[in-house]
Amino acid sequence: MENNQIHNSAQMNPDLKLDENFWNERYKANETGWDLGQVSPPLKAYIDQLENKDLRILIPGCGNSYEAEYLLEKGFKNITVIDIAPEPVNRLRTKFQSDPNIKILLGDFFTHKAEYDLILEQTFFCALDPKLRENYVEAMKSLLVKGGKLVGVLFNKQFGLQRPPFGGTDAEYRLLFGEGFEFKTFEPCYNSFPKRAESEVFIILGKK
C-alpha cells in the first residue's frame, strides 16, 4: 500500500516530538483533555459481554487506564497495560500494587513482545504521529494470536490539527487494516462519551 494513500489527511508539525517527555509533561501539568475520567462507554459495553475472564488483554498507551480498572472489577485475570510516560505508569503501579491480575509496563509499545487474545484501543491510535500508522498495524498483528481481536474506537473525522488528536476516515482505515484483519464490526459509534458523539467509529477487527 502507498503511504500517501493513508497519511495524506493527517500531518504532524515536523517540530513536534511526541516522545516520553511530551506525554509525561502533559500528565504532570494535568493537560489531559483526552482523559474521560471514566471507562469509555463503548468499551464498557463490549467488556460487559465478555465471558472468558482468562483472556490475555493488552491496553497500549494506557494513561490512567479506567478500562483496566473496570476489567479488574469484572474479574479479568490477565491484563497488561503499557505507556511510554512514567507519570501515569507510576500512578497505576501505586494504585494496583497489590493486584496480581494486572501487569503495568513502562515502555514503547512498538518494541513490546508478547501474545494477546484481545487488544483494546482507546485514544492511542489518534495520539500517534500519522506516519506510524502502518507500524501500528504491524505491531498489532505481531502481538495478537491468530483470531485475536483489536477492539475499540477510532475518530471518523478530521481535526485539521498538526498535533494530537489526529483523525481519519473510514476509507483510510479500511485500506490500513484491510490486509491483515477481518472487519467484524466497523460502524458509527452509537454510545460514545457525550463530547465525542458522532465523531467515533467502533471497531472489532479479527486478525486473519
Q: What's the burial of 164, exposed, middle or buried (CB within 10 Å: 0-12/13-18/19+)?
A: buried
d(CA 12, CA 136): 16
How would residue 49 be classed by pLDDT, with cut points 50, 70 and 90?
A: very high
Extract the runs of DSSP E, i.e. beta strands, from the chain. 57-60, 79-83, 102-106, 116-121, 144-155, 181-188, 200-207
Residue 199 confidence (pLDDT) above 50: yes
Q: How far apart are CA 181 and CA 44, in angstroms?
A: 23
Which amino acid, 44? K
In single-letter form, the type of residue at position 99 comes to D
Alpha helices in 8-150 (DSSP H): 20-28, 41-48, 66-73, 86-95, 133-143
Q: What is the pLDDT of residues 95-132, one digit of tens each?
A: 999 999 999 999 999 999 999 999 999 989 999 999 99
**Segment among 99-113, 165-179, 184-198 with least mean pLDDT:** 184-198
CA dist 143 and 105 (Å) reads 15
CB 58 within 8 A of CB 82: yes
Bigger pLDDT: 163 vs 50: 50
Q: Given this model, what pLDDT does residue 26 score?
A: 83
- The cell numbers describing 151, all together, are 477492539
DSSP state of 115: -
Res 9: pLDDT: 57
Q: What pairing do the DSSP bridges indicate for beta strands 181-188 and 200-207?
A: antiparallel
Q: What percent of the chain has pLDDT over 90?
A: 71
